Chains A and B, each alone.
Chain A
Amino acid sequence: MLTLIVRRLGLLVLVLFGLSLLLFAWVRALPGDPARALLGEKATPAGIAEITARYGFDRPVWQQYLTYLGRLLRGDFGASINTGEPVLSTFAQRFPATIELAVAALLLAVVVGVPLGYLAARRRGGLLDNLAVGGSLLGVVVPVFFLAVLLKYVLSIWLGWFPTSGRQDARIDATHITGFYVLDGLLTREWDASWDALKHLVLPALALGSIPLAIIVRITRASVLEVLSEDHVRTARAKGLARGVISRRHILRNALLPVSTTLGLQAGALLSGAVLTETVFSINGIGSYLFDAVNQLDYPVLQGFILFIALVYALVNLVVDVSYGVIDPRVRVS
């Protein structure tokens, strides 16, 4: 177990190191003067001189890389070309919105997807099964951003059930502690703030949740079908256990192992999807930050973003692998 964690952490360091090399090479490969590229259109001679000195663009390449690496290790990811704000602190400020969205989407997907996949498998070939299989196929092929636009049009513009954009009504005077608005409202007992944030969260979470939902339904279904055909389920039935005990302890528990690993793999898809969803619903998370960076070719933000995402992604997968080891004794021991 411990060796697994150590090995994965080692791999993580290696991956981040490789990425930093790539990203470094990326800026160097930009056409023209790197200092100019980093400053964008607003480059002034003085600014170029300052950046050149700070990043050491006049020194040999390997020294430049070392300085770059050193700054990264100190948590200095550079500053945005457009706003001049440090990249890392902007992330910190915007990350809660994205996390809130992603967690809500994932929660929705798990709460709906696991029972649906399970029931579909138990009543294989039935109406529910066909609906689940067909629906999950739709979930895979309908792009998140299209679903988001569709939901926005039907449920908020047309029917007016939900707000069209943002995270909270500006007229609500809400205290923010954690940056997770729904949670903040609960902590401060500002119920209306929490309720309003929740209403803002529903549509984006539905749209974003469609990806993991489709996948969770499919994997749960396939996994339950496989477990159902295994001998040990027959043993459990031969023991005369109650139906519920067999379902929970002997079928669902085994079937959820593969589902839990896919959850980790979903982290990447969720982040990508969050970028698109936040754009549609004008949520100030890291997704819309990236969108702006892409459209303005804000290199320091893009660089920082990729490193940051890789780090988050790798950590999530590490946690999933470790938890997998906890649930599955076969992994734990070997």
Chain B
Amino acid sequence: MSALDAIAPPPSPTAEPTGEAGLGPWAAAWRRLRRNPSGIVGAVVVGLFVLVAVLAPLLAPYQPATGEWFGEVTPTAVPGPSADHVLGLDSFGSDLLTQLLYGARSSLVIGVVSTAVGLAVGAVLGILAGGLGGWVDTLVMRIVDILLSIPSLLLAVSVAAVLGRGQWSIMLAISAAQVPIFARLLRASLLAQRGQDYVVALRSLGLRQRRIVVGHMLPNSLGPVLVQATLVLATAVIEVAALSFLGLGAADPAVAEWGRMLVTAQDRLEQAPQLALYPGLAIAVTALGFTLLGEALREALDPRSDR
């Protein structure tokens, strides 16, 4: 649905007539963002997530994926919370809390890197298509059509299958699925601006096409791109988990990945439902944080939009 919204990008930030006079569009947006309670919640969740991911080695009580206490795990029971292990152990005998904290780390790295790559490639394609037009546009958009004709998860699956297992292939897989989203967004935004009076005016002033696109049109597309990137990060966190759930993550099943943890938890669902609950909640809360923040950004940048 966020991809759909992207086709008709929200207009660039504009200051409201009352109360915000004298503020630039970005300052006005910032002010609206700070007044949006769900945006604050989102920002706090995202902030915590990033903090945990970055500081995982400091926060975690143990090393991840050690299997140190494997002897304590029996075929019928996984030890629950204790003084040494706040959340208990996982089914491979590692500390569950440690696994969760390091899971945030891998989600963040994969999510951010893949979104950055997806954004970069998508942006280049979109700018080429929207800025140059003509046959370049046609060619780029046909490629995008083909990419869009495969559901994003399956696209990611096939990319990951080509590259083999591992975190790198998950990253590339997810960025491949994001490329068409950003390409369309930028193209649509540039095309919408191309006919506007200010662009015609710049052209009449004799500015080069490249100057106009880079210096004037792109900055106007920044808002929608920022919103989309935040929303895409939410999807990326879920897709990272989905791909590792499907077995495309690291080959070692004991490694700290939320999706992978959920898969292995299924075998012991009856004895130890907490093994599924925590990583699942972690994924959902993180995705919620990015979604809330993204939607708050959208509202802040486009005062007319409503939910």
Q: Do chains A and B touch in the complex (CB under 8 A)?
A: yes
CA distance A169 to B58 in the complex (A): 50
Task: Tell which of A26, A133, A144, A290 touches B307, judged by Cβ atoms closer than 8 Å.
Answer: A133
With A142-B284, A222-B307 known as contacts, the answer to whether A137 contacts B265 (CB < 8 A) is no
Q: How distant is A42 from chain B, measured CB to nearest CB, in Å? A: 18
With A142-B284, A149-B269, A157-B269 known as contacts, the answer to whether A271 contacts B146 (CB < 8 A) is no
In contact, B283 and A143 (Cβ under 8 angstroms): yes
In contact, A276 and B242 (Cβ under 8 angstroms): yes
Asked if B33 is at the interface (CB within 8 A of a chain A CB), the reply is no
In contact, B247 and A218 (Cβ under 8 angstroms): no
Task: Tell which of A15, A262, A294 touches B149, judged by Cβ atoms closer than 8 Å.
Answer: A15
In contact, A141 and B149 (Cβ under 8 angstroms): no
Query: Per DSSP, are chain B's interface residues mostly helix, strand or loop, or mixed?
Result: helix
Asked if B83 is at the interface (CB within 8 A of a chain A CB), the reply is no
Contact indicator per residue, chain A 16-46, by CB within 8 Å of chain B (1) or not (0): 0011001000100110000000000000000
- Residue of B1, B242, B259, B283 with most partner-chain A CB within 10 A: B1
CA distance A265 to B265 in the complex (A): 32
CA distance A15 to B149 in the complex (A): 8
With A142-B284, A153-B276, A275-B246 known as contacts, the answer to whether A19 contacts B291 (CB < 8 A) is no
Among the listed stretches A68-76, A105-113, A176-184, A302-310, which one makes contact with chain B, having 4 or more residues with CB under 8 Å of it? A302-310
In contact, A272 and B154 (Cβ under 8 angstroms): yes
Total number of B residues with any Cβ neighbor in A under 8 Å: 44
In contact, B162 and A29 (Cβ under 8 angstroms): yes
Asked if A295 is at the interface (CB within 8 A of a chain B CB), the reply is yes
Asked if A279 is at the interface (CB within 8 A of a chain B CB), the reply is yes
Q: How distant is A165 from chain B, measured CB to nearest CB, in Å? A: 11
With A291-B246, A306-B154 known as contacts, the answer to whether A146 contacts B280 (CB < 8 A) is yes
Contact indicator per residue, chain B 135-170, by CB within 8 Å of chain A (1) or not (0): 000000011011001111110011011101000000
Q: How distant is B190 from chain A, measured CB to nearest CB, in Å? A: 23
In contact, B246 and A302 (Cβ under 8 angstroms): no
Asked if B248 is at the interface (CB within 8 A of a chain A CB), the reply is yes
In contact, B1 and A218 (Cβ under 8 angstroms): yes
Contact indicator per residue, chain A 130-166, by CB within 8 Å of chain B (1) or not (0): 0001000110111111100110110001000000000
- A219 surroundings in chain B (CB, below 8 A): 1
In contact, A141 and B153 (Cβ under 8 angstroms): no
In contact, A294 and B161 (Cβ under 8 angstroms): yes
In contact, B269 and A152 (Cβ under 8 angstroms): yes
CA distance A310 to B164 in the complex (A): 22
In contact, A19 and B247 (Cβ under 8 angstroms): no
Contact indicator per residue, chain B 181-201, by CB within 8 Å of chain A (1) or not (0): 000000000000000000000
Which residue of the partner chain A has the closest CB to B157?
Answer: A294
Task: Tell which of B248, B269, B291 touches A294, judged by Cβ atoms closer than 8 Å.
Answer: B248
In contact, A269 and B269 (Cβ under 8 angstroms): no
In contact, A269 and B283 (Cβ under 8 angstroms): no
CA distance A245 to B157 in the complex (A): 48
Q: How distant is A275 from chain B, measured CB to nearest CB, in Å? A: 7
In contact, B145 and A137 (Cβ under 8 angstroms): no
CA distance A295 to B149 in the complex (A): 24
Q: How distant is A312 from chain B, measured CB to nearest CB, in Å? A: 10
Contact indicator per residue, chain B 91-128, by CB within 8 Å of chain A (1) or not (0): 00000000000000000000000000000000000000
- B259 surroundings in chain A (CB, below 8 A): 145
In contact, B158 and A269 (Cβ under 8 angstroms): no
Asked if A197 is at the interface (CB within 8 A of a chain B CB), the reply is no
CA distance A332 to B265 in the complex (A): 52
Asked if A57 is at the interface (CB within 8 A of a chain B CB), the reply is no
CA distance A269 to B151 in the complex (A): 6
Task: Tell which of A133, A280, A305 touches B154, judged by Cβ atoms closer than 8 Å.
Answer: A305
Asked if A326 is at the interface (CB within 8 A of a chain B CB), the reply is no
In contact, B307 and A140 (Cβ under 8 angstroms): no
Task: Tell which of A138, A218, A309 touches B151, judged by Cβ atoms closer than 8 Å.
Answer: A309
In contact, B246 and A146 (Cβ under 8 angstroms): no
CA distance A295 to B253 in the complex (A): 12
With A146-B276, A218-B1 known as contacts, the answer to whether A19 contacts B288 (CB < 8 A) is no
Contact indicator per residue, chain B 279-301, by CB within 8 Å of chain A (1) or not (0): 01001100110011000000000
CA distance A141 to B269 in the complex (A): 22
CA distance A97 to B247 in the complex (A): 22
Asked if B89 is at the interface (CB within 8 A of a chain A CB), the reply is no
Sampled A-B contacts (22; CB under 8 Å):
A11-B145, A19-B150, A26-B162, A140-B291, A141-B238, A143-B238, A145-B242, A145-B259, A146-B241, A149-B262, A149-B265, A152-B269, A219-B1, A262-B4, A268-B154, A269-B151, A272-B151, A275-B246, A294-B161, A297-B161, A305-B154, A306-B150
Given contacts A11-B145, A141-B238, 8 further A-B contacts (CB under 8 A): A142-B284, A150-B280, A225-B306, A262-B4, A267-B151, A268-B154, A275-B246, A306-B158
B interface, CB within 8 angstroms of A = 1, 4, 142-143, 145-146, 149-154, 157-158, 160-162, 164, 234, 238, 241-242, 245-248, 259, 262, 265-266, 269-270, 273, 276-277, 280, 283-284, 287-288, 291-292, 306-307
Kindly list the 7 A-B residue pairs having the minimum CB-CB distance in the complex, ordered from nearest: A268-B151, A272-B153, A146-B280, A141-B287, A141-B288, A295-B247, A142-B284
